[in-house]
Amino acid sequence: MSENTTEVAVGGLVLALAVGFSIFVFQSTGLSSSPPSYPIHASFRSAEGITVGTDVRLAGVKIGTVSAIDLDSNTYRAVSVISLKDDIQIPEDSALVISSEGLLGGNYVEVIPGASFDYLASGDEILDTQGSVSLISLLMKFVSGGQER
């Protein structure tokens, strides 16, 4: 009978740890509940390194996520939809830049705020964008002495 009690206790402990880990994962990834948001649009020359779910940050603080990326067959640019928190107002002359967290880190979309007193509304488009810079192409330019081949 003592073996049965021990097995039940260990099983309950494992189950409690699994539930706790699941709650932690949902809270840390933001999957638990999303705050109200509004979409804005932007097109990048290169959206390399970002995917749906990539963070959008302003001054290092997460203010939204990338909710869609698609290719415009007319302009050959990556068109993205970015969902920003409702309580964040972005000036309409702001810029979006795809930045890197470091050499081994991932990429994120950085909002560089403008100085306008008019703010972006739901569905508006940010025109000033800068795509990602390929680390490989930079290293190749450095190795080749800056000469194009």
Domain extents in the chain = 1-33, 37-140
pLDDT value for 33: 59
| Cα–Cα distance measured from residue 67 to residue 30, given in angstroms and rounded to the nearest whole number | 13
| pTM summary value | 0.67
Confidence (pLDDT) at 106: 83
| Six token digits for residue 27 | 């809270």
Q: For residue 68, what pLDDT is reported?
A: 92
Give the residue-averaged pLDDT of 138-147.
76
Residues 96, 110 contacting (CB under 8 angstroms): yes
Asked if residues 114 and 94 have their Cβ atoms less than 8 Å apart, the reply is yes
6: left (phi over 0), alpha (psi -120 to 50) or beta: alpha
Q: pLDDT, tens digit, for every residue of 4-37?
A: 888 888 999 999 999 988 888 777 665 555 678 8
Residues 66 and 109: beta-carbon distance below 8 Å: yes
**What pLDDT sits at residue 56?**
93
Report whether 85 contacts 63 (CB < 8 A): yes
- What is the distance between the alpha carbons of residues 79 and 69, in angstroms, rounded to a whole number? 6
For residue range 34-86, what is the model confidence (pLDDT) as tens digits?
A: 678 899 999 999 888 888 988 999 998 999 999 999 999 999 999 999 999 98
Predicted local distance difference test score (pLDDT) of residue 143: 85
* Per-residue pLDDT, 61: 92
Q: What is the pLDDT of residue 15?
A: 92
Cα dihedral across residues 19, 23, 25, 31: positive or negative: positive
